[in-house]
């Protein structure tokens, strides 16, 4: 029977990447002075598992590097080699390399041998790297060394702090980490060995060349029966078993112990004895041998039990989930329609129908919530990359930074999680580059030399709030204003702080005095804001000189559903996202004024805001707006008073893309279908405010 | 019905492979991701063979074998270690814990079947 194992390669790739990710986070979290043994074990196990899988699937380069990595990690784990900062760096580098290799194998490409050699020698170099003692490598070369002498040698050398190489039985090799000179060691060895019987080499590049793993894996047991094996046995404590007599049969890839005492099943003893010389017995058809005394459990029980040992999750394509979301959206619309129609029925006659419709409404809402939760992912998927990024960036900038993360379990729509990664990376880099000062500057300011960067996520009334906070220098108002002026932006000294901070989100704005390769030329903050706004979110800055800066991003929980206020304007229904609405009011005529240069304005509690009509924005017959309702909206650029004819009510609407169904319209973010089947347009408040304010300014000019 | 085999390994790749190979030869296979789960599963039902990895988080392979051997119903059940280590120390430890034998990872699928057939038929 031939069994194709290549179908498991994908599982292996996934698993290897998971292992690498966990290795990285464990390495980053490790305290060099007092590493947690369980963490070290975890790191070792990750390398160990990858090695095993890689060898199984014949990914030899991957197997080779992980083999050496595993050996080094094993030494660290067992305390033979203390963990140093440069080792963590090398391990992290190796983990990056391995990640790339896994992806290369996944795409079916070849790995360049140079990469492998380079990575292997770097890992090997760790043994001698840094200030660690130079070691010695002793290789026994004479064939005729008796077991007794080897046993004696092992005991003597171990007493002197020597230890056997992990490959000792095969290599006949010892490693010494003492700083003794070659002459001293040769003298010590001379007492046991003749000069021609051994070779002593400095333990560094001697082993840096990678040992081809294939040969090791292919014949790991070939030398088992040679003298080295016995030597190992001789070193065992006297009470231990004599293994040679204990093994019933073995070859290079497996072995069976002889039955002993009650442990031996009679049938096993018989079968293994019978097969010792002959080929394996052909498979016995099922049923000819009765199963052991215990009745077979039901298949169903099996599956449940098996599932409980797994994490209990399944992988589903996002396409399927999106289809489900769409269908649920349609259902919500249909349900809304039914509810609206039912409202016109006589409750006395149609009691049962109305009960049913009420039930349908509850079920629909629950179904909708459940479907949405499928798309929800913890924000840790984005946050997880930052420990590494902060560490690398800070060391590149020569700054010391401590990263704290809170609320990683906060959930957010998967689509948003993916889009959040770039803007957040940009903000974090900016904080590290421009926010947090160098240790000297911080010391001079009387601050802790180690800067603090905090990533925080939490829920706040239907929104997810993400903050990037640093305790750095803060934004400099004067510098931003001067810079903006030199860039030809329209600024004046009377601008509020909030308006000044928003300037850094303008295209092409940068106050960095030197261009660094970390945050580049400062282009990008405008992209950050655009990305966040495209997700229906907003971004705010709070900053205090020398105390720090907090950048706050507010995002809707999901892209698919919106909490909105339906309003009527000229017989059409529009939906305004609730998050932007401050209040609605019916002003008296003396609160509406015309201010030269600003057109109509509405005075609300001593604050003046421009009056905007949708006709004004989208074009159409101008209308009188001296009477009627005004909805006060607050966007990043400022507040406006939007004139509407009627407030219809608050709804949860399912967002339909205008772009895919029609085309992109400035000032609108999408459309939805209301309960009565009519299409309502969803207003994009940020762009509405931008258009409206731009127009009032240009009209005034 | 085929014989019941439990495969204990923290690597899903390895578990799935073992399960696939054995299932294709008519065995029934259950998987467990570590020693504790393996032990729990073994108590819940009787297996004819247990295959276990050595290096796992929490309860490792040797500890699992010792725990299984302490149960009267697993006193004589074949237990094979799937291991990447082939040193004598490992063998001695495996023997002392009560393992029936070992199989070196990575293994050839046919080899796995041969060894499994040797111990359970």
Q: Tens digit of pLDDT for each residue in B16-47?
A: 889 888 988 889 999 998 899 999 999 988 99
Facing residue for B121 by CB, picked from A42, A289, A302: A289
To the question of domain A379-556 being in CATH 3.30.565.10, the answer is yes
Touching A: B residues 81-110, CB under 8 Å: 84, 86-89, 91-92, 94-96, 98-110
Contacts of A241 in chain B (CB under 8 A): 92, 95-96
Please give the share of chain A, as a percent, with pLDDT higher than 90.
Answer: 8
Q: What is the mean pLDDT of residues A202-218?
A: 39
Please determine, for residue A453, whether its predicted confidence score (pLDDT) is greater than 90: yes
Give the residue on B whose Cα is nearest the Cα of A289.
B121
Please determine, for residue A315, whether its predicted confidence score (pLDDT) is greater than 60: yes
Chain B touched by A42 (CB under 8 Å): yes
| A676: its two tokens | 């009565």
Averaged pLDDT score across all residues of chain A: 75
Contacts of B95 in chain A (CB under 8 A): 241, 243, 246, 257
Chain A touched by B72 (CB under 8 Å): no
Contacts of A283 in chain B (CB under 8 A): 25-26, 113, 117
pLDDT band at A220 (very low <50, low <70, confident <90, very high): very low
Q: What is the mean pLDDT of residues A556-582?
A: 84
CA distance, residue A214 to nearest chain B CA (Å): 11
d(CA A656, CA A654): 6
> Bigger pLDDT: A172 or A551?
A551
Bridge-partner residues for A404, per DSSP? A454
Please determine, for residue A386, whether its predicted confidence score (pLDDT) is greater than 70: yes
Facing residue for B16 by CB, picked from A8, A241, A262: A8
d(CA A19, CA A70): 13
Long-range pairs for A201-204 at CB < 8 Å and ≥24 separation? Answer: A201/A136, A201/A137, A201/A139, A202/A134, A202/A135, A202/A136, A202/A137, A203/A127, A203/A128, A203/A134, A203/A135, A203/A136, A203/A137, A203/A175, A203/A176, A203/A177, A204/A124, A204/A125, A204/A127, A204/A128, A204/A134, A204/A135
Please determine, for residue A284, whether its predicted confidence score (pLDDT) is greater than 50: no
| Gyration radius from chain A CA atoms | 36
Chain A touched by B56 (CB under 8 Å): yes
Bridge-partner residues for B53, per DSSP? B82
Contacts of B106 in chain A (CB under 8 A): 52, 55-56, 217
Separation in Å, CA A563 to CA A435, A461, A617, A672: 36, 11, 23, 12
Structure confidence at residue A114 (pLDDT): 73
Structure confidence at residue A695 (pLDDT): 57
Find the range with the poorest average confidence among A188-197, A261-270, A529-538. Answer: A261-270
Please state which CATH class domain A135-211+223-234 belongs to: alpha beta
Q: What is the mean pLDDT of residues A449-472?
A: 88
pLDDT digits (tens, 9 = 90+) for A149-202: 666 676 666 666 666 554 444 456 666 655 555 666 677 777 777 777 777 665
Find the range with the poorest average confidence among A179-188, A336-345, A610-619, B95-104. Answer: A179-188
Domains of chain B in start order, with CATH, are 4-120 (3.40.50.2300)
CB B71 within 8 A of CB B41: no
Structure confidence at residue A202 (pLDDT): 57
Please determine, for residue A209, whether its predicted confidence score (pLDDT) is greater than 70: no
Give the residue on A whose Cα is nearest the Cα of B9.
A49
State the sign of the Cα–Cα–Cα–Cα dihedral A650, A655, A661, A664. Answer: positive
Please determine, for residue B118, whether its predicted confidence score (pLDDT) is greater than 70: yes
Find the range with the poorest average confidence among A212-226, A514-528, A537-551, A619-633. Answer: A212-226
pLDDT digits (tens, 9 = 90+) for A358-369: 899 889 888 988
Contact residues for A205 (Cβ-Cβ < 8 A; gap 6+): A121, A124
CA distance, residue B42 to nearest chain A CA (Å): 11
Please state which CATH class domain A6-129 belongs to: mainly alpha
> What is the CATH number that goes with domain A561-700?
2.30.30.40
> Bigger pLDDT: A27 or A659?
A27
Element of type H or E holding A271? helix A266-274
User: Which of A47-61, A402-416, A595-609, B62-76 has the largest mean confidence?
Assistant: B62-76
Element of type H or E holding A123? helix A113-125
Contacts of B115 in chain A (CB under 8 A): 254, 256
ipTM: 0.80
Peptide bond into B106 cis (omega under 30): yes
User: Which of A65-69, A193-197, A272-276 has the largest mean confidence?
Assistant: A65-69
Chain B touched by A474 (CB under 8 Å): no
């Amino acid at each position: 029977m031939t069994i194709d194992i290549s179908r498991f390669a994908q599982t292996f790739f996934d698993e290897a990447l998971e292992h690498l990710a966990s290795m990285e986070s464990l390495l980053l979290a490790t305290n060099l002075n007092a590493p947690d043994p369980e963490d070290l074990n975890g790191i070792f196990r990750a390398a160990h598992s990858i090695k095993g899988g890689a060898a199984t699937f014949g990914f030899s380069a991957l197997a080779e590097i992980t083999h050496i990595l595993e050996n080094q990690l094993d030494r660290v784990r067992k305390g033979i080699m203390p963990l140093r900062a440069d080792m963590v760096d090398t391990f992290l580098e190796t983990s990056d390399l391995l990640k790339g290799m896994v992806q290369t194998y996944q795409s079916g490409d070849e790995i360049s041998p140079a990469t492998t050699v380079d990575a292997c020698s770097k890992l090997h170099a760790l043994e001698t790297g840094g200030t660690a003692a130079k070691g010695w490598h002793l290789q026994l070369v004479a064939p005729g060394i008796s077991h007794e002498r080897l046993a004696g040698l092992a005991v003597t050398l171990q007493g002197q702090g020597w230890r056997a190489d992990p490959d000792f039985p095969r290599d006949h090799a010892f490693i010494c980490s003492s700083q003794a000179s070659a002459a001293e060691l040769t003298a010590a060895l001379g007492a046991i060995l003749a000069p021609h019987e051994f070779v002593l080499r400095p333990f560094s590049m001697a082993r840096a060349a990678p040992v081809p793993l294939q040969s090791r894996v292919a014949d790991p047991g070939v030398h088992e029966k040679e003298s080295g094996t016995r030597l190992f046995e001789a070193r065992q404590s006297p009470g231990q078993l004599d293994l040679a007599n204990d093994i019933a049969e073995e070859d290079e890839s497996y072995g069976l112990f002889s039955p002993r005492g009650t442990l031996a099943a009679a049938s096993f003893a018989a079968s293994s004895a019978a097969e010792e010389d002959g080929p394996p017995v052909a498979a016995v058809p099922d049923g000819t041998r009765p199963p052991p005394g215990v009745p077979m459990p039901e298949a169903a029980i099996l599956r449940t039990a098996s599932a409980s040992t797994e994490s209990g999750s399944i992988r589903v394509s996002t396409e399927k989930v999106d289809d489900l979301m769409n269908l649920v959206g349609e259902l919500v619309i249909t349900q809304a329609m039914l509810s609206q129609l039912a409202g016109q029925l006589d409750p006395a006659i149609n009691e049962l129908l109305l009960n049913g419709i009420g039930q349908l409404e509850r079920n629909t809402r629950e179904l909708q919530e459940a479907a949405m939760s499928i798309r929800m992912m913890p924000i840790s998927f984005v946050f997880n990359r930052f420990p590494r990024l902060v560490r690398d960036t800070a060391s590149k900038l020569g700054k010391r930074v401590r990263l704290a993360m809170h609320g990683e379990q906060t959930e957010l729509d998967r689509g948003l999680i993916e889009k959040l990664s770039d803007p957040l990376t940009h903000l974090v880099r900016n904080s590290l580059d421009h926010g947090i000062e160098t240790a000297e500057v911080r010391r001079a300011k009387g601050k802790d030399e180690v800067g603090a960067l905090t990533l925080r996520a939490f829920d706040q009334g239907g929104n997810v709030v993400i903050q990037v906070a640093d305790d750095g220098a803060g934004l400099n108002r004067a510098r931003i204003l001067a810079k903006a002026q030199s860039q030809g932006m329209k600024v004046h000294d009377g601008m509020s702080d909030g308006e000044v901070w928003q300037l850094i989100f303008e295209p092409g704005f940068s106050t960095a005095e030197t261009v660094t390769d970390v945050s580049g030329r400062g282009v990008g903050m405008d992209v950050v804001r655009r990305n966040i706004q495209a997700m229906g979110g907003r971004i705010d800055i709070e900053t205090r000189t020398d105390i720090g800066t907090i950048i706050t991003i507010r995002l809707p929980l999901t892209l698919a559903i919106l909490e909105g206020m339906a309003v009527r304007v000229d017989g059409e229904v529009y939906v305004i996202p609730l998050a932007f609405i401050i209040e609605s009011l019916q002003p008296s005529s003396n609160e509406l004024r015309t201010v030269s240069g600003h057109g109509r304005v509405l005075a609300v509690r001593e604050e003046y805001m421009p009056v905007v009509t949708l006709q004004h924005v989208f074009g159409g017959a101008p209308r009188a707006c001296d009477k009627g309702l005004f909805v006060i909206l607050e966007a990043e650029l400022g507040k406006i008073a939007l004139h509407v004819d009627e407030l219809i009510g608050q709804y949860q609407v399912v967002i339909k893309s205008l772009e895919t169904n029609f085309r992109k319209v400035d000032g609108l973010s999408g459309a939805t279908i209301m309960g009565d089947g009519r299409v309502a347009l969803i207003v994009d408040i940020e762009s509405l405010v931008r258009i409206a304010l731009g127009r009032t300014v240009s009209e005034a000019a | 019905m085929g014989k019941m085999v439990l495969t204990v390994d923290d690597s899903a790749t390895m578990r799935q492979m073992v399960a696939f190979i054995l299932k294709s030869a008519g065995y029934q296979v259950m998987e467990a991701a570590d020693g504790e789960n393996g032990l729990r599963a073994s108590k819940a039902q009787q297996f004819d063979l247990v295959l276990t990895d050595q290096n796992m988080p929490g309860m490792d392979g040797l500890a699992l074998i010792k725990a299984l051997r302490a149960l009267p119903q697993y006193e004589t059940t074949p237990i094979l270690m799937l291991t990447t280590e082939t040193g004598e120390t490992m063998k001695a430890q495996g023997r002392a814990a009560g393992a029936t034998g070992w199989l070196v990872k990575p293994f050839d699928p046919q080899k796995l079947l041969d060894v499994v057939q040797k111990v359970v038929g």
